[in-house]
Structure 1
Amino acid sequence: MREKLVLIDGHSILNRAFYGVPELTNSEGLHTNAVYGFLNILFKILAEEQPQYLAVAFDLKAPTFRHKMYDAYKGTRKPQPPQLHEQVPVMKEVLTAMGVPLLMKEGYEADDLLGTVAKRMEKEGLDVSVVSGDRDLLQLATEHIMIRIPKTKRTGTEIEDYHAKEVLEKYQVTPPQIIELKAMMGDASDNIPGLPGVGEKTATKLVVAYGTIENACAHVEEIKPTKAKNAFLEHYDLAVLSKKLATIDTDSPIDFVLEDARLTDLYTPEAFALFKKLEFKNLLGRFQCDAPDQKIEQYFYAVEDFGEAEDVFAQAAGAALVSFSVISHKGEVKGISLGWEKEKIYYIPAQGFVTDQYLCEKMTEVLEKADAAVTMNVKEQLSYLHVEKKNLFDAAIAMYLLNPLKDTYAYEDIAKECLDLLVPSVQELLGKEDFGSEDEKAVKNAACYGTYTCLEGKAKLEEKLKENGMWDLFKEIEMPLVYTLYDMEKAGIKADGEALKQYGEQLSGRIKELETTIYDLAGETFNINSPKQLGVILFEKLQLPYGKKTKTGYSTAADVLEKLAPEAPIVSHILEYRQLAKLKSTYADGLAGYIAADGRIHSKFHQTITATGRISSTEPNLQNIPIRMELGRMIRKVFIPEDGFVFVDADYSQIELRVLAHISGDERLIEAYREAQDIHRITASQVFHVPFDEVTPLQRRNAKAVNFGIVYGISSFGLSQDLSISRKEAAEYIEKYFETYPGIKQFLDQSVADAKEKGYVTTLFGRRRPVPELSSSNFMQRSFGERVAMNSPIQGTAADIIKIAMIRVNERLKAEHFRSRLILQVHDELLVEAVKEELDTVKQILAEEMHGAANLKVCLEIDMHTGENWYEAK
């Protein structure tokens, strides 16, 4: 039985994968879609072929004779997109790590190397499969050389296979005649010019009739049609050039030793490390090996008796830097890991010889004495430690600032990005059980890896923060904010369970009314929540316009229904029904489960979720309470202060527009704010050139939409949708706006230009937001990137300001020993639960700290209200 060699055209398959796989990047911003796609094609080929040998050919940068011939004819070749270009060396590195030999030779293209090796190995008795997207290689096909051409389709990668007989069947010419065919018809994708006006159909007839371009030229007077005949007469030199360009050199001086290409285990530790770095999680399951042995676990010790625990805590208390973590599962302390030297990382389980209370008290003592301490997710551990001394370094927050685009920040990321180590994650060690696992050794190792990586990575993280100008942001804003958010979570907000129940009943009543109305208008009952049934009612039975049919039925998305609303009353009722049904499920029903034994809802606040720096809220999300419809706003009535307290709500007025005025430096916008008049009326007056007192409500509404839209990089299309006007009118509004405020246009353009040059934008306080979308090959992605570049400095600065205000308000209330407390933050709004006797002072503190959070060229203004519930206060 003949052995088999698979040869892969590296650049061709990488190029095909790049355009066939959606854009991917790893956490370091490296594009990876071409490499990922290449590997999937490679694994598919190997599974099908089961070869004994494998090699991949690449072009080198040095120009080949074919490059030179082409350049002489038509200048230079089109360069690769940078997102593809950066993946070529990565692909070579991955293949080398997998033990796959690379065929490269200066002065020769990959085609020549593939052709030479294929023909040579065929003579030595092997079957050869050549994998490429380049149909020039069909000229190599024989009974024992198969050309495999992958084609990416929606259903996945399909591969066309060609031996000599399949080439003849498909193209009506022999494999060597593929050269003649390309010489006549050309190939734009491979920079082969061919004869002008001669297509594939005509070229095929000529090759079948005459065999070669030389013979065709000798019989030029016989050639039909006349267009092809004239092409030969006038451009025969192009056919000759094209033939040279299309001809593969099968005798190039490449050193190829077959045994070097023998397939062994591709899934090496080195390849595993690269796959993890590239974040190819779906491919890691192919590996039987573990990550390269870093010999770290030899430094992990499980404490086994009380005396040893006492000794460990005593030594840690005298350390300059201690790394630690309280290990918990579902609110129960399982143990503590700590270390102060990388060779001594300890895990003390909360079982047998010590209690969880002992561990937390001893760890608190250590932290109070230590000069500095590092861990991850400080806020989650404060309830166990009660640390007053704010000397903690949160490595997860540091990681977030350095790369705010990631979904999670774990110790293995610190190991990889700061220590150049690959360590197993908590999930890899413990699986779905997390720290609830009964595998004591795995729990110890998972805990100690976190402590080890934090201890070793802190200096690097600090260095990177300083290099990127974010050390002050980390130290003065993000770390103090941890304690403020912890205080807010601990305090929670009181919810009236009975009022919540009544609110739900009110919603149910209105939902039933809407159901009856919708069924009457439809003429039948149906499942309103079923998009399929709803689509049939609207677009088939009622024959409404704008029906977009998909594979699963008609689209009934919100944008479709909103466009339909003026056409039929039923649609408005359906939209209201959807809103109320969501209100009921999310809030009326959903919030009840979050009311704790103390009658309060303790939402969780996160500072490492959004790329712009805004705080987010979960379990439940109290930042998403509806405000647009009255019945939605009514939910705020169920949030009430304790007896003897009152709510004080302070909301920044137009903070993002004020930030825009400051950072753009636009004198007209700054002056408009300094006049302390209605900013939207002033804008309307200036944009529409009408006296201030004569601005109509419509003009003010349009100016308001432009004011806020500009902050978010709105397009003429977006504005036209918002205002229900033509795109041309919207474009004119935006143009007039920029004429009125030229400094804003200059700032926005400069933000995009800076982001393209640097790869990121910054806020006034140094927060960076990477904008990788700007380098995307996808137009929609690049457009999104431009909007991000315009908006992030504004929204991010506003987020920083509200954080500063939160920290200052919270710290003053505590420092002055008030019982009043900050309990909620919703975007630009702070809610304080104030003791009635302290109300005047609390309002003064809010005003002073919110006004003074930043020194801008325009004043920071706030709207402040009080109330017996959140609805009244807002």
Structure 2
Amino acid sequence: MNTISIDLETYSDVDIGKCGVYKYAESPNFEILLFAYSVDNSDVTVIDITKGEKIPDEIISALSDPSITKWAFNSQFERICLSEYLHRHYSLATHYLSPVSWKCSMTWCAYMGLPMSLAGAGAVLGLEQQKITEGKELIRYFCVPCKPTKANGGRTRNLPMHDKDKWDRFKKYNIRDVEVEMAIQDRLQKFPVPDSVWEEFWLDQQINDRGIAVDMEFAKNAISFDAKSRESLMNEIKEITCLENPNSVMQLKDWLIEQGMEVTSLDKKAVSAMLPTAPPNVQKVLGIRKKLAKSSVKKYQAMENAVCSDGRARGMFRFYGANRTGRFAGRLIQLQNLPQNHISDLAEARQLVKAAPFEVMELLYDDIPDTLSQLIRTAFVPQAGYKFIVADFSAIEARVLAYLAGEQWVLDTFARGEDIYCATASRMFHCTVVKNGKNGELRQKGKQATLSCGYGGSVGALIAMGALESGMKEEELQPLVDAWRKANPNIVNFWWAVDRAVKEAVLQHTTTSTHGIKFICKSGMLFIELPSGRRLSYVKPKMGVNKFGSESVTYEGSNGTTKKWERLESYGPKFVENIVQGMSRDILMYAMAAFEEYRIVAHVHDEIIVECPEEVSVESICQLMSKTPPWAAGLQLKAEGYEGKFYKK
């Protein structure tokens, strides 16, 4: 026995979408219904556990045998569910089965730029065997609780005996999923995932298994404070407007019109625009509406949903969640989009929520929803006797972009430890710019241009990054773009060198290279090989015409906005963005692998959160994180960090 391909059908009364697989499997009412498997690509066998059928002993042994590779589509689900099953029925896997020796065909699809769904991947690959489409309906019937009705005798769960025909179809569906998984593996076998990426996958699974502790006393109090604050604010707005439901956009619009206000929208931007010229009573109402619009409580509720019985939230990260760059995606609580902290008395505010009555909080803070929003990060805490060290890379994408493009003045600026935004503004405007000093007002323009223009961005990118809100005039944006590009000629050259290399590779079905990056077009795929050796994948590339009537490369992929699988177009600067973000991701993974002796509990963008003993220093963590990978010789990295008893930013 070398490999086993597995698919499970399970039941739990916990909502896996809200709570994740770790809490789902932890439920006392969790059980495995069907276990379908194939050993070494043999015919698929299904074990009907509901009928008392037993998983063969050699299969049970293989599940924890590191020499046997276990395959599944989204293998985290099968591994965690089987860990719980073995723990309950075989006194094995006291925690979770080691992820090492488990591989995931969904991750393989992501690596290849394919849809991250079994049905989607099968369709794009044109497999003969396709996922059975009625599966969702069968899962709803057998795998989740049902509503009690007169027709079903008041039961809260459907069992096999309640519809034997459906159950037979469900077993066929279970078998088919394994067959489709194996067909995907067979189709992709000439493009194997590198061992180094599987090692990264195992590290990711270990971090997900470890989880991060949540101060649930604090989180529950925050939920309670939010409810009281909202009730108070709602009573106040009702008193001013006399509206039955001030949450109704239509009712509030009508009231504002009665007050002489012209209203087309009540979104955040529109409300902010109305505030300066509104009469006092309208200002009060709009201010309350802005407070009520804060959705901070949802994050606390997500914590309550996801946290396991030991107080740790698990399954926060999706490995290869962004399949064009390989970057992580957030799950459940979504650590990637938490609000930042700006209040100075963070620890005191946190302690008030945890220990003081609501009335004290109300007395000390004018905007309770905003305060609770800023405190969300502080709900994450280290276990007793440990502390957090949080370290992140300084300007990682700007460093990587300059390194690949050979923009030496940028690299020299970083090497000297100087402010990159001042240095950029100095080159753009041909003068000395000092932060909070000589020509300091130009620093903001240097910052806006640096953040907006690196990947071919122009006026639209500057506006999207808040240039107008920061006080710039629209007529000065194009000259700002031009000045940035003139100051960074090697980066501009890099865009178009990549553009030419990609086009040549696709047109000639060959391999090209520029700036240490390889572009390989073969077998209906375009691969971009990064300095680390990892490849970015683009499906079915071909030449097309873009919206401006120019020749461009197109490929098939998931539209980031519509989520539909369709043909997408790209060009040099966009490919450069993928390359830089992909390489930045590889540098993060290199640092995470070096932290093996520490307990990484979370990571957010370019930041790593370590749960460690008190004697570990911030300096030692930052030094370790700043070590340059051997495949990026000459790239100077810098990590900065802090330590504490809760997470913040």
Deviation of 1:662 after TM superposition, in Å, equals 1.7
Q: 1:350 to 1:613 in 2, by over 3 A?
A: same
Q: What residue is the counterpart of 2:579 in the other structure?
A: 793
- Are the aligned partners of 2:391 and 2:609 in contact in 1 as well (CA < 8 Å)? yes
Q: How far apart are the structure 2 equivalents of 1:844 and 1:357?
A: 49
SS at match of 2:326: coil
Q: What residue is the counterpart of 1:381 in the other structure?
A: 78
Q: What residue is the counterpart of 1:667 in the other structure?
A: 408
Q: 1:785 to 1:416 in 2, by over 3 A?
A: closer
Q: What residue is the counterpart of 1:648 in the other structure?
A: 389
Q: What residue is the counterpart of 2:427 in the other structure?
A: 686
Mean Cα deviation higher: 487-496 or 439-448 = 439-448
- Are the aligned partners of 2:4 and 2:37 in contact in 1 as well (CA < 8 Å)? yes
Q: What residue is the counterpart of 1:337 in the other structure?
A: 36
For 1:852-863, list aligned pairs within 5 A: 852-853=628-629, 855=632, 857-863=634-640
Q: 1:426 to 1:796 in 2, by over 3 A?
A: farther
- Are the aligned partners of 1:686 and 1:740 in contact in 2 as well (CA < 8 Å)? yes
Unaligned runs of 5+ in 1: 1-318, 466-470, 548-553, 814-819
Deviation of 1:671 after TM superposition, in Å, equals 2.0
Structure 1 counterpart of 2:215, from 496, 519, 529: 496
Q: What residue is the counterpart of 1:715 in the other structure?
A: 458
Deviation of 1:640 after TM superposition, in Å, equals 1.6
Deviation of 1:831 after TM superposition, in Å, equals 0.9
SS at match of 1:338: strand
Q: What residue is the counterpart of 2:307 in the other structure?
A: 595
Q: How far apart are the structure 2 equivalents of 1:705 and 1:771?
A: 36
Q: What residue is the counterpart of 1:368 in the other structure?
A: 66
Structure 1 counterpart of 2:442, from 699, 707, 717: 699
SS at match of 2:603: strand
For 1:550-629, list aligned pairs within 5 A: 554-568=264-278, 574=286, 577-578=289-290, 581-611=293-323, 612-627=325-340
Q: 1:776 to 1:581 in 2, by over 3 A?
A: farther
Q: 1:392 to 1:690 in 2, by over 3 A?
A: same
Deviation of 1:511 after TM superposition, in Å, equals 5.1
For residues 214-267 of structure 1, the C-alpha deviation after alignment (integer angstroms, 9 at most, x for no partner) is xxxxxxxxxxxxxxxxxxxxxxxxxxxxxxxxxxxxxxxxxxxxxxxxxxxxxx
Q: 1:697 to 1:562 in 2, by over 3 A?
A: farther
Aligned length: 523
Q: What residue is the counterpart of 2:28 in the other structure?
A: none
For residues 368-418 of structure 1, the C-alpha deviation after alignment (integer angstroms, 9 at most, x for no partner) is 343x443322222333255548344321111112225x3x42167348616
Q: How far apart are the structure 2 equivalents of 1:489 and 1:425?
A: 31
Q: What residue is the counterpart of 1:768 in the other structure?
A: 537
- Are the aligned partners of 1:494 and 1:640 in contact in 2 as well (CA < 8 Å)? yes
2:117 matches 1:409: yes
Q: What residue is the counterpart of 1:636 in the other structure?
A: 377
| Paired residue type of 1:485 | D
| Paired residue type of 1:733 | L
2:471 matches 1:736: no
Q: 1:506 to 1:585 in 2, by over 3 A?
A: closer
Q: What residue is the counterpart of 1:826 in the other structure?
A: 604
| Paired residue type of 1:368 | P
Q: How far apart are the structure 1 equivalents of 2:59 and 2:399?
A: 46
Q: How far apart are the structure 2 equivalents of 1:433 and 1:497?
A: 34
Q: 1:689 to 1:518 in 2, by over 3 A?
A: farther
Q: What residue is the counterpart of 1:240 in the other structure?
A: none
- Are the aligned partners of 1:395 and 1:461 in contact in 2 as well (CA < 8 Å)? no
Q: Percent identity?
A: 19
Q: How far apart are the structure 1 equivalents of 2:257 and 2:633?
A: 54
SS at match of 2:321: coil
Structure 1 counterpart of 2:5, from 303, 317, 323: 323
SS at match of 2:417: coil
For residues 548-573 of structure 1, the C-alpha deviation after alignment (integer angstroms, 9 at most, x for no partner) is xxxxxx32223333444444475697
State TM-score, norm by structure 2.
0.70
2:581 matches 1:805: no
2:644 matches 1:870: no
Deviation of 1:606 after TM superposition, in Å, equals 1.2
Q: 1:808 to 1:702 in 2, by over 3 A?
A: same
Structure 2 counterpart of 1:727, from 460, 469, 474: 474
Q: 1:651 to 1:518 in 2, by over 3 A?
A: farther
Deviation of 1:649 after TM superposition, in Å, equals 0.7
SS at match of 2:298: helix
SS at match of 1:616: strand
- Are the aligned partners of 1:328 and 1:334 in contact in 2 as well (CA < 8 Å)? yes
Q: How far apart are the structure 2 equivalents of 1:753 and 1:655?
A: 26
| Paired residue type of 2:479 | E
Deviation of 1:828 after TM superposition, in Å, equals 1.2
Deviation of 1:803 after TM superposition, in Å, equals 3.0
Q: How far apart are the structure 2 equivalents of 1:773 and 1:511?
A: 54
Q: How far apart are the structure 2 equivalents of 1:654 and 1:784?
A: 28
Q: How far apart are the structure 1 equivalents of 2:485 and 2:447?
A: 14
For residues 71-103 of structure 1, the C-alpha deviation after alignment (integer angstroms, 9 at most, x for no partner) is xxxxxxxxxxxxxxxxxxxxxxxxxxxxxxxxx
| Paired residue type of 1:745 | V
Q: What residue is the counterpart of 2:200 in the other structure?
A: 481
2:48 matches 1:349: yes
| Paired residue type of 1:486 | Q
For residues 330-363 of structure 1, the C-alpha deviation after alignment (integer angstroms, 9 at most, x for no partner) is 3322343222355522122334555579687334
For 1:108-507, list aligned pairs within 5 A: 319-330=1-12, 331=25, 332-340=31-39, 342=41, 344-351=43-50, 353=52, 361-365=60-64, 367-370=65-68, 372-383=69-80, 384=82, 387-388=97-98, 390-404=100-114, 406=115, 408-410=116-118, 413-414=121-122, 417=125, 419-425=127-133, 427=135, 430=138, 432-433=140-141, 438=160, 439-465=166-192, 471-472=193-194, 475-477=195-197, 479-504=198-223, 506-507=225-226
Q: What residue is the counterpart of 2:20 in the other structure?
A: none
| Paired residue type of 2:73 | M
Q: How far apart are the structure 2 equivalents of 1:588 and 1:667?
A: 45
Higher helix share: 1
- Are the aligned partners of 1:334 and 1:349 in contact in 2 as well (CA < 8 Å)? yes
Deviation of 1:593 after TM superposition, in Å, equals 3.3
| Paired residue type of 1:324 | I
Q: What residue is the counterpart of 1:844 in the other structure?
A: 620
| Paired residue type of 1:719 | L
Deviation of 1:869 after TM superposition, in Å, equals 0.9
SS at match of 1:464: coil
Deviation of 1:777 after TM superposition, in Å, equals 6.5
| Paired residue type of 1:476 | S
Q: How far apart are the structure 2 equivalents of 1:682 and 1:390?
A: 46
Mean Cα deviation higher: 505-514 or 456-465 = 505-514
| Paired residue type of 2:467 | L
The CA RMSD over aligned residues, in Å, is 3.8
- Are the aligned partners of 1:648 and 1:831 in contact in 2 as well (CA < 8 Å)? yes
For residues 90-133 of structure 1, the C-alpha deviation after alignment (integer angstroms, 9 at most, x for no partner) is xxxxxxxxxxxxxxxxxxxxxxxxxxxxxxxxxxxxxxxxxxxx
Q: 1:518 to 1:762 in 2, by over 3 A?
A: farther
- Are the aligned partners of 2:219 and 2:300 in contact in 1 as well (CA < 8 Å)? yes
SS at match of 1:374: strand
Q: 1:486 to 1:574 in 2, by over 3 A?
A: farther
| Paired residue type of 1:496 | D
Q: 1:645 to 1:832 in 2, by over 3 A?
A: same
Deviation of 1:731 after TM superposition, in Å, equals 1.0
| Paired residue type of 1:723 | A
2:320 matches 1:543: no
Q: How far apart are the structure 1 equivalents of 2:592 and 2:327?
A: 13
Q: How far apart are the structure 2 equivalents of 1:327 and 1:359?
A: 20
Deviation of 1:642 after TM superposition, in Å, equals 1.6
SS at match of 1:607: strand
For residues 616-649 of structure 1, the C-alpha deviation after alignment (integer angstroms, 9 at most, x for no partner) is 2222222221116543332222222121011111
- Are the aligned partners of 1:763 and 1:797 in contact in 2 as well (CA < 8 Å)? no
Deviation of 1:729 after TM superposition, in Å, equals 0.5
| Paired residue type of 1:329 | Y
| Paired residue type of 1:530 | S
Deviation of 1:850 after TM superposition, in Å, equals 5.2
Deviation of 1:867 after TM superposition, in Å, equals 0.2
